[in-house]
Amino acid sequence: MRRGGAGWLSSLPKRKAEFIEPMDCAAVSKLPNEWQWIYEIKLDGYRAIGVKSDRGVNLYSRRGKSFNHQYPHIVEALAELPEGTVVDGEIVALDKSGRPNFNLLQN
């Protein structure tokens, strides 16, 4: 099926929005040097999965523990998303220079 057409999303299987354990990174001795690989900057933070379902909003650690009390502003922002949304991301604290600072995040 050609991606990019309006109908390809509706052809995907449906499932209930819930925690999905994220994939872990795999260590490699050499990076692939092929055109189809894309690299991202590694941000030093906490991996988080946000879920907006018919039961409410939940923010989970990568191991499935609740982050709702530690990051209420993120939970509040997730409430604006449509029901059935799952977001996978990194919670990062930035210093005054705009650089990620893990010590700030821990405190």
Q: Do 45 and 90 touch, CB atoms closer than 8 A?
A: yes
Question: Catalytic residue numbers?
Answer: 42
Torsion of CA 73, 75, 78, 83, to 10 degrees: -160
Distance CA 61, CA 87 (A): 12
What does 8-76 look like in DSSP terms, one character per residue? TGGGSPP------PPPPP---SS----TT--------SEEEEEEEETTEEEEEETTS-B-TTT-HHHHH
